[in-house]
Structure 1
Amino acid sequence: MASIDLTLQPAPAPDQLTAFLNSPAGNAAFTVTVPPDLARLHQLWLRRFMAHHDPAPPALPAAVLQNYGDQLGAAMTAWLQQSDWEPLRRLLAHLPAMPLRLRCQATPALIERLPWEVLELELERPIWRVADSGHFPSDAHARRGVRSPRLLLLVGREEGLDLEADIAELQRLDRQGRIALHTLRGSDSCLSRLRAALGDKRGWDVLVFLGHSAGDPQGGGRLQLGDGHWLGGSALAQEFQQAKGHGLSLVLLNSCSGLDLAHCCTAAGIPWALCFREAVPTTAASLAFSQLLGAMERGRSFPAALQHTRQALQESGPAGCHLLLSGMCAGGAPELHLPLSARRRFRLRLASSTRRQAIAAAALLAAAAAAELLPANPLSTYLLDRRLHVQRLWRGATGQPGPLRPSLPVLLLDERRVYKELQVEATPGRVSRAALAEVLRRTPPGAVPVVGLDVVLDEPAPHTTELAAVIHRQRRRQVLAGWLGAGAGARAAGVRSQPLEALRQAGLQARDLGVGTPAGRADRQPLPLQLLWEVNSRNFASAVSAAPQVRMPPEAVIDWSIEWTPLVRPIGVDELGELRAPALVVGTDGTIDRDQSDLFTAPAAIRPALAVWGGPSDVIPGALVQAVLAQSLALRHWLTPITLSGCTALAAGLGVLLAAALPERRHRGVALGAATLLTLPLSLQLATTRLVLVPIVLPLAALSATSLLRRH
């Protein structure tokens, strides 16, 4: 903190002082002569001060005290106008408004007891005092920005004093969470408890003493403890040094004649101390205390708050007391701010966020970005599968099964049962076209205008002519087969495997059998959860959905959490003749094709329905997946995920803010628990009612990591 330092030392002549100047503009040394009447004027003013505040009548009028105070101030101003002080005046003119710090080294007692602060208006700058210190101020004060200020309140003997207002003010700040207050009062205000408190390794930011004190230059001042014993400041020198090492930055002596005690504190290296140099009324000490706390609560530094307090004492305090209030600092003391306001404390804590938080946020954000670039990675797929399963449980618990519409019938062909019911022979390794022709014969064209055959008919095979004849004869509005798109994962994937010419001439149309998800192994396809490619009018599912103009965008998530059994209805051969439906999907049980099974790993959310559909509990045939896609398109029902990177970044930022707002980790843990309890049902309900899929795991991990990795 830049300042002009004025050091006064005795000169060889008894009525002279040697002055040393140290400032950013340079150094200087000169000798000044002390006016002979300065000591007399100070004594006259001090006697009248005592007489005015003496409770025994008659009291000296305040106007008389004011007159003598003005005379003392005028004498000090005239002294600084003498030619001896010319180096100081030049420096003050060259460095306007820069604080002036005064150090008195072995000078006569009068020089230090003079009210140098009365020159603040004349010199147009704040003035405070510097004490000799053999100890540098501790760097532990830098920790203040990461927690509420810790205040140790020492209450002395209260006989004849009214300290309740000051104590209540500190207790109010403690209740509001602006400070952490520990009070030694009554029998607890004793030497053993005081020493134990000063040795607390958690450290104190401020030590406040309320009570009686007295001057004692040899013993470092004296104060009276709550148990009635008087204690010399020098007896606490070691404890003051320990407290300074743990962060003690300010001592407020709300008592009389505290100059020697302030010297003792700054000699131990405590950066700042506040005291009254002489005995003052309790009302003056209380007013100074409240004004100082209020100013620092508004964000002012200690020197600025000291100026404000002195002005408030001059305007509304007991007469003359403002001339006795002094601030003292150890050499090299940094500017002091106490974050008593919640807003300032939050800003300071936010600015001191840790590197560990940044690393955790960056790592989780990188994981989120990687998951978005590769959405089909195993971890993301697993988490999404679990999420949809929890979504299904939420729907069941809250009575929200999902949307309704007429069911889409699905006939699954298998060689052991359905082929026998159709009275056809199997074609080894391929779907029997005789079976397909028989299904079409038994299904009335007028009642079922659209039939989707979830098969690829691009190779010559027995009974092709028979199948073409049935298609041509029925002249059904639409009969569909499939071709393998790029994501099908089959041997011919990516090739437009159109049906044979004879079938196309008969009226068979072809659509892409892809379901928007990546290919898997030959025995089964991966979980059909999140799309990589859009599903549109080119796709098989769209053609049988009765909503061919609707598209399901890429990155959409199939909502397996709703009740699918009313929407997709597997039927038997015996139901074909009486079937009435806008469309019919005909597929296989997934095991007939010798090149690749048409089976998908079943999502956890749908597995309870697989037993109702008559299949195994861990796989789902491709025809049923096509039917689910078709109904999703018809209902315009799918989940739209919110950006994972954005949510993770937002959660990480909120975690940093939470760590800044709540210094105690246990409080952050409670807040995280509350956030989780709120986030889970809210996210599930948003997906249920608004079809918005809010990610949970990575954002909550980011919130937890960035908030809990900070220790203080």
Structure 2
Amino acid sequence: MPRVAVLKIGRGNFHQGFEVSLELREDGGLPVGEIEGRLGANTDIEGLYFLWQQSFRSLSAIARNDGWEIESSLPTNRATREITDDCWQRMRQVEANLNEWLQPSGELGWQKIRERLSKELATQADTLRLAIKARDPILWKLPWHSWDLLSSYPNVGVSYSPVEYESWEIAKHQTQSDRVRLLAIFGDNQNLDLAADRQAIDNLQETESVFYHQPQARDLIAQLRNPQGWDIFFFAGHSQTIEQRGRISLSARESIETDQFKHALREAVQKGLKIAIFNSCEGLGLAQQLADLHVPIIIVMQEIVPDVVAQSFLKEFLREYAGGQPLYSAVRHAQERLEEFTELPGATWLPMIYQNPAEVPPTWQDLRPKKRQHRFGLDWQHLPNILVKSLVATGLVMAVRFVGGLQPVELWAFDQMTRLQSDRGIDERLLIVKVTEQDIQQQRQYPLSDRVILQTLEKLQAHQPRAIGLDIYRDFPVEPGYRELAAHIKKNSNLVTICEVSHPEAKANKFGVASPPASPPENVGFSDIAVEPDGTVRRYLLHLNPGDSVCQVPYAFSAELALRYLDAEGIQPEATSDGNLQLGSTVFQPLEKHTGFYHNIDPRGHQVLLSYRSFTKVAREVTLTEVLQNDFKPQWVKNRIVLIGVVAQSVGDRFSTPFSNEIDKKMPGVVIHAQMVSQMLSIAKQERPLLQFWPQTLDAVWIGSWALTGGLCVWVFHGLVYRRIAIASAMIILGSLCLSLFSIGICAPLVPSVIALVISYIITTKTVIGKRMKDEG
């Protein structure tokens, strides 16, 4: 990042020396370091400079024959050659004296300053600029660009300002044009040829230049207040500094001090004025006064300047600056080209930049904000690159997703989506008879005896339920009452019992939990629940190949109950050509190993996503004791599905769900089965959709579209704030769309899309913004 090295020359004088410090700061930022020291005395340099000044002014008088600028006491009758030789000698003496003064000395602090500045120059040669802040104006006039420390670094420019230069904040207004707006004032042209200056300005490309020749003061003020604003103010003509006050001559009859149009200048600054150029004599007073008005950059001639020198400087400076060189480098290059005027030794000293070091010098492109910062400008050459970056981001995300790298975070996002769904309330088609801790204590036995279960079933059967599901294992007798319960189970076809397929155990021929011996196979369903590695239930296992398990049934307990209910409604299960279950118009497409975000799961059996009806209560609930005491309404049972199961925490038949963290508890197994039954009923009767994934191809297209969106945010919006707003808005829209799709049964890839969006945004930003900055100079 560009830096500015600020050399502060504070209290002191040439006879006693000066307090000095070197402050380093990022361009436009806060200081990053400061070294203090002291610069020794130099009693000769003021006198040497004055002698050079006398010789140079004599040569200027001869060159211009301009008595208006020259003091009558200056000698002008000596031979031109002698004056030129004398001026050369004085110039060399000043430069030699300056370099000797700035050499390392016994002052340790100054030596450290010089060493640090040398290091900065060596590492930041193309981006560093040097600012001289001094109390004594003679220090500004010294030829700092001839300092031997800078001799090897031709791109390092030098500026000047007072030590107490006020820091200010100016609203960053821009001129209302996509071209550089330049106001050129040509004042009194007595003994001057200003045509060359006008030609240099006319040669500028993409510039809107307005010229005024010898205007009246009120016309000048009116133009400075032009509502469109100006980027550059230029003056050529006669000017002078008297007692540190600058004055420009608008014509032979009228001159004006900067104080007389200070309000117009301040208004021009507020409307975008960034640079003021005074290609005229003795501009130091002008620079000081304009700086007080907060003009960011002022370029002036510090001494009387011959016409040819002023013309050459302006031409070379504008050519370099408009050609893309930084402002400081452009000024220094134009300075150094003034050495061609060998008959005017020291001409390279004349141009100087006066500026607050805290300000960032604008580039020529910075003066064309509408073209450079247009927030919705589309540079079509970047589009192929954005498409490539989007494909790269999509491919990377899909590859990581395919190997299961995103599954944990996608499961988390799925849980959040599930929690954000509306609670559908209880399903009136279901009733849960729950066995609580109090019920177990009252029976004084667990497992519950077969007699208690029989009594419960008889109480419920009396009210004609469509199906009863007994979610309690009965693979062995629990006396008393075994024979009576077995007889009841055998004769009631609407009673569904359970067994467990489980997983094969090592060195075991049989595994699982058997069904009640008296239950016909068609009245048994397996109770197995698909549980994720994190212990959460998000899938519904409909069908399973039991293998060598003692539980030899193919359908889930919940499916058996739902199908019995639907049979009474006239809805029969069908099989598609692929062997998938179809209820009504809905096909239960099974989850496979690489479906949606599932990549590292056991794909056995026929599994679908479980869509929870409610996280509070899926069905009306009564306790075992209430049933035994007939403390329930018969209509709660008639034509309903009744599930009987244990909810006591001491039994341990409980599972984590997407709501577990929210409600701080697990869900009993019988309630999970009730959720599954309710889902099948609702899907078959078209009350809600089956929650499904898209095919992998469609997932890739969706993710790719959001990766492209990330790149387009960089392409369309040039400003950093606007890009961040755009990318944040895209994420909000993405989240809202995924939530809306989830509510209609589509589980779209949210997390992969967000990651692809961000990756594409980052890699496109580095490429497009880097190229854009390079193109803009």
**TM-score category (smaller protein):** 0.3 to 0.5
